[in-house]
Structure 1
Amino acid sequence: MTTPGWYKDPAEPDVRRYWDGEQWIGDGVPADTAIPTEPPVDEKPRYGVKEPVLAPFGPESFGPERTAQSPAGWGVPVGGTSADGRPTGYPAQPGFPPAGAFKLPLGTLPGDVPAQALASVGERLAARVIDIMLVGLLNVVVNGWFVYQYISQPYWQQVADAMTAAAKGQAIDPPTATTTVSWLAILIMVIALGLWFAYEVPQIWYSGQTLGKRLIGIRVQFLLDQQMTFGLSMRRWWVQALTVICWPIGALFGLLDALWCTWDQPRKQCIHDKAAFTIVVRARAPRSEAASGTGSEGDPS
């Protein structure tokens, strides 16, 4: 249905509405009456024209009161026309934006913020470095004994001897890792992933901020302006965890993921942000903006 004209509403067959090629506009008319010759006057604003602002962060920021006109997210109640002018003749599809949504300009998605409210690459990098250091300290405490047992295995001395012999041009059979070495390697990786998961996923789910992000003053926000769920937080983490799970090839993916936000437009998203429909924003205005009073309206500086 691409040609503008009067059509029966898929959700209300007894009502005929005007489709302008992109959305339903105006009020409907009974289907059994004569088809109007002119389109209705579109008095409702198109979706996404209102300038978004960065609201204070917290559970109240994502409550149902902010999505009362569209309680199911991108899918709105079947039948009629939504308050923002979108057609509603299709089933609700909560939590997933339409195809191509990430390419839309800022201000066209429910959870968008002004460009100046997006976290910079430097801020994201600083927060990540802090988080890596903290998770590393947790691994020293929890994983330290297993790492010591791993590097103390005779296998590594055999590897060193083989490398020395190869440097001297001597032929020597390469050592074979023992079952103990293999199991210790798996155990160390599982514990490391578990600590990272326990550190990051619950914090992003609950507050949008790890300790590193809190110290830098940035946070993760669900792009569709709804409550962040544990599943979405886990999905976001899982994409990042591929760096460790698929090591060493995963290291290349991890580098690509980390650099993606440097060229992504318009929302500076990494791959793991796109997977979970999130953006990273400033939790407070930069000092230069706060001092000059140029921060965006509604920014909790």
Structure 2
Amino acid sequence: MTSPTDPPANEQPETRQVPQPPPQPETQPETQPETQPPSLQKPAEPQQPASPAYGGAWSAPGAGYGTVLSSGSDYAAQPPPYPAGAGFPVTTVGGYPLAPQTDRLLARLIDVAITYVPNFVISLIVLVVPIVVMVLTRVEQPVWYVVAFVAGFSVSLLLNLLVVYYYEVIYQKQKGQTFGKLKMRIKILELETGAPAGTRALQKRFLAEYCVSMALVIPVLGWIVGSIASFYNYLNFLWCLWDKPYQQCLHDKYAKTVVIKVAE
């Protein structure tokens, strides 16, 4: 006899399902980067310094990156080179290009204008003042007027030469350039040494350039000597147009000098 609470004989007891956790994704094991032996590793390339901005300082060649030359070093004292194809001649003397003929002409005109002012004042005083005095004192003999003119002319010529000598030789030796050459940035160098022209070289230039030309204004030498001096005067200044390779005038050849273009 069975109890009412007993399950039927053919009925299986109910089983309770236990929830399972969700499957985890498979993870790959982390791989460490392969490292090469130090002997096989590529050395790091050195960093190149950037070009300096305008006005910056460059490093010395061979002195290593970041080494800046001082302003007193020999390398920094070198003149800045002119870029190729800047319109200057290829021939150089002492690292400087030859001066263009136009710059030399303009410098000469400036120098002539500077020396003309004192020479004009000197000539006016020496020539005019004696004649005015003779007129005021009522000198009647014409011969004295001729003597006064010839004497005044000779003194005026001598003083004019002294003014030009001081400017072209003494002043230029002290300053390195005349005012006209300074404005046109040209300078005279000795061809054999490349050094600035010394007193002896400047004296030779003065003798060949001015003393011979003064024969043009001395009437007593006659027209033949005056014609020769006039021809030489033109030939002297035009010679640099076809002279090779240093573009020298005749007074440059006599003094063994050359005119160059400077940066400052």
Q: Unaligned regions of 5+ residues in structure 1, if any?
A: 1-54, 58-104, 155-174, 285-300
TM-score (norm 2): 0.53
Partners of 2:130 and 2:105 in 1: CA distance: 31
CA distance 1:136–1:244, change in 2 (3 Å): same
Partners of 1:235 and 1:151 in 2: CA distance: 36
Partners of 2:112 and 2:204 in 1: CA distance: 19
> 3-state DSSP class of the match of 2:241?
coil
Contact 1:243 1:251 in 2 (8 A): no
Q: CA deviation at 1:113?
A: 4.4
Percent identity over the alignment is: 25
CA distance 1:210–1:229, change in 2 (3 Å): same
User: Which structure: larger Rg?
Assistant: 2
Aligned to 1:214: 182
Q: CA deviation at 1:281?
A: 0.7
**Mapping 1:171-182, distance limit 5 Å:** 178-182=146-150
Q: CA deviation at 1:202?
A: 1.5
CA distance 1:153–1:251, change in 2 (3 Å): farther
Q: Residue 129 in 1 paired to residue 98 in 2?
A: no
How far does the alpha carbon of each residue in 1:94-149 deviate from its partner, in whole angstroms, 9 at most, with x for none? xxxxxxxxxxx956xxx4546xx111111000000000000001113333211324
2:172 to 204, 207, 219: 204
> 3-state DSSP class of the match of 1:265?
coil
**Mapping 1:249-260, distance limit 5 Å:** 249=227, 250-260=229-239
Aligned to 2:161: 193
Partners of 2:248 and 2:131 in 1: CA distance: 38
Contact 2:181 2:187 in 1 (8 A): yes
Partners of 1:128 and 1:150 in 2: CA distance: 33
Aligned to 1:262: 241
CA distance 1:257–1:195, change in 2 (3 Å): same
2:100 to 120, 131, 141: 120
**Mapping 1:131-170, distance limit 5 Å:** 131-149=111-129
CA distance 1:227–1:200, change in 2 (3 Å): closer
Q: Unaligned regions of 5+ residues in structure 2, if any?
A: 1-77, 81-89, 135-142, 217-225
Aligned to 1:42: none
TM-score (norm 1): 0.47
Contact 1:106 1:113 in 2 (8 A): no
Partners of 1:239 and 1:282 in 2: CA distance: 22
- 234-243 or 125-134, which moves further after superposition? 234-243
> 3-state DSSP class of the match of 2:259?
strand
Partners of 1:181 and 1:269 in 2: CA distance: 38
Aligned to 2:253: 274
Residue type of the alignment partner of 2:110:
I
Contact 1:208 1:221 in 2 (8 A): no
Contact 2:131 2:148 in 1 (8 A): no
Partners of 1:192 and 1:140 in 2: CA distance: 9
Partners of 1:183 and 1:193 in 2: CA distance: 16
Residue type of the alignment partner of 1:276:
A
What is the RMSD computed on CA atoms of the aligned residues? 3.1
**Mapping 1:1-301, distance limit 5 Å:** 56=79, 106=91, 111-113=93-95, 117-149=97-129, 178-225=146-193, 226=195, 228-247=197-216, 248-249=226-227, 250-284=229-263
Partners of 2:130 and 2:247 in 1: CA distance: 40
Residue type of the alignment partner of 1:196:
V
Partners of 1:187 and 1:219 in 2: CA distance: 32
Structure with the higher helix share, 1 or 2: 2
Q: CA deviation at 1:276?
A: 1.1
Partners of 2:149 and 2:237 in 1: CA distance: 31
Q: CA deviation at 1:224?
A: 1.6
